[in-house]
Structure 1
């Protein structure tokens, strides 16, 4: 199998690539991987270092909205796993145009190229934020899309673009929507790596508003396993929610991280809330559980402890990133 992985040098994409090449997914045991990545601030070449020089890995530097780069990467592929996206809500509030270019135009460019080249399966990786904030209950795959941030709106649009290519052209498109990811190699602008790295430096952590916004947490390993299940066994034209099974407030998450450092609430700095900050996300992911046998393997407490250890042991990876303009509040 030949798999094109867009955004394959980013946090989630690189974890997926390492999983494929590391033999973690039996259905991709013979896979050759082409990574298409723009290598912006969050796409790090070193995320692929374990397989640098591996003949099964080909890396192309290019943007998903660039038809020439996409056409070059798409030739001969059997499947596409489309992770590439602008994904930080704060950045989308500051510059929504970049999110439309990458997330919407990029998906359109990729889907049309996949159809043109006769690619077998196109997995489009999306987010629970497309459903918007839920006061009660949980969103299944048929829940209306009600995005509130420019980021979420661009992802909802990209989902529809991909699914339209299935309905119009017959491309086998499968969409996944996941909850909040965490784990090693996550750029320190999101809440878990931002707070962990600040605590490692002896600093306070900036928490939006009252800290009572609710999110469900999913270890990146579990997310990538879910994506692979959809690639191998999902159905064309279907959407699959991928959840972690642990919903809690940002304040409760912060308290867990503080506890790993033996720190207390005095290290919390409450800051002005984000514009339009969604109060609560909640996914019903029974479909992927019942149809494909998905279960998250990581317990949140164990996952946060392991993630904290990784950042403590890999300061050389994240300390140079402090010079990037991303040391901001990291809620999602």
Structure 2
């Protein structure tokens, strides 16, 4: 039986990845996380979760020595761009040190595990229209601290592959959406505010930032399926974009959610919700991923957004739910 270890298993993509891997009876899934996060009650069967700080090299070495995984999906990260502007060094350290500890432990323990490292489309920065869609050969020119941390992760993985022969895959994930995503991100934030307005928990007013930005959105269920396929079929050392291959504006995302709302919601622009630097259009060239794995997205964008709104409608009915403030953070990650 193959053993798969997921870092950040209690986070957004981590939980969805665990659910996908558990669809197979020949995979033993375990995970590590800094805290319990969203929990894993939705999984079809229990998984062992270690609560640990991956910035602790000794803790990482002990974890890998004990679990001896065949596959490691490294998803743990500080993934919010606005938070990175507020704390650049904290984001860099939080994203780079854990990966370094994993790579170094693999070398020191001589473990033959395959490691999949998840970076981001933010490594590419603001790509001019004539160079779209963005291929893996595009220059790495991040325009925010989060993107810098992801470039470091990407290149650190490549360095350990070249210098130590670590079996590593470099994934550059574009925007993904789905249930249990933090409301720090645009689709979840819009859906949460609409659900609260429907329930009378907030005024029917939705404050927004830049609605003209276009992003490449993919359902998280399709994203984690791509991760699993790459783990099986990807070429060590190579980088792979994971996205839909289609750009959609934040305005369109908002319009879809407003069309699903049961109440009329007024939209207001708010200057404080704008980023210091914002790429106008982001869209992935996913031909390498498709050639390698045969993967293609299966869940329609509108269905993804419907699922997000249903999730928040259910969530706000839970005992102890605390409504968001009208000025809750909103940025189109």
In the superposition, the TM-score normalised over structure 2's length comes to 0.90
Q: Number of residue pairs matched?
A: 319
Match of 1:68 in 2: 58
Pairwise mapping of residues 125-274 of structure 1 onto structure 2 (< 5 A)? 125-136=118-129, 137-202=132-197, 203-209=204-210, 211-261=211-261, 267-272=266-271, 273-274=274-275
- Give 5+ residue unaligned stretches, structure 2: 198-203
Q: Note if contact 1:36-1:60 (Cα within 8 Å) is conserved in structure 2.
A: yes
Pairwise mapping of residues 16-55 of structure 1 onto structure 2 (< 5 A)? 16-21=17-22, 23=23, 26=24, 29-39=25-35, 44-46=37-39, 48-51=40-43, 54=46
Question: Within 1, Cα distance between the matches of 2:79 and 2:323?
Answer: 19
Give the alignment's Cα RMSD to 1 decimal: 2.2
Q: Select which of 49, 69, 78 maps to 1:77.
A: 69
Question: Within 1, Cα distance between the matches of 2:322 and 2:94?
Answer: 22
1:184-205 Cα distance to aligned partner (Å, 9 max, x none): 1111111111111101111422
Query: Residues 177, 317 of structure 1: CA spacing in aligned structure 2 closer, same or farther, 3 A cutoff?
Result: farther
> Relative to structure 2, which stretch is displaced further, 139-148 or 111-120?
111-120
1:228-249 Cα distance to aligned partner (Å, 9 max, x none): 0110111110111111233111
Question: Within 1, Cα distance between the matches of 2:38 and 2:18?
Answer: 12
Secondary structure of 2:32's counterpart equals: strand
Cα offset, 1:20, TM superposition: 1.3
Question: Within 2, Cα distance between the matches of 1:51 and 1:13?
Answer: 11
Q: Select which of 94, 106, 110 maps to 1:114.
A: 106
Cα offset, 1:134, TM superposition: 1.9
- Give 5+ residue unaligned stretches, structure 1: none
Q: Note if contact 1:80-1:119 (Cα within 8 Å) is conserved in structure 2.
A: no
Q: Note if contact 2:123-2:147 (Cα within 8 Å) is conserved in structure 1.
A: yes
1:124 aligns with 2:120: no
Secondary structure of 2:182's counterpart equals: coil
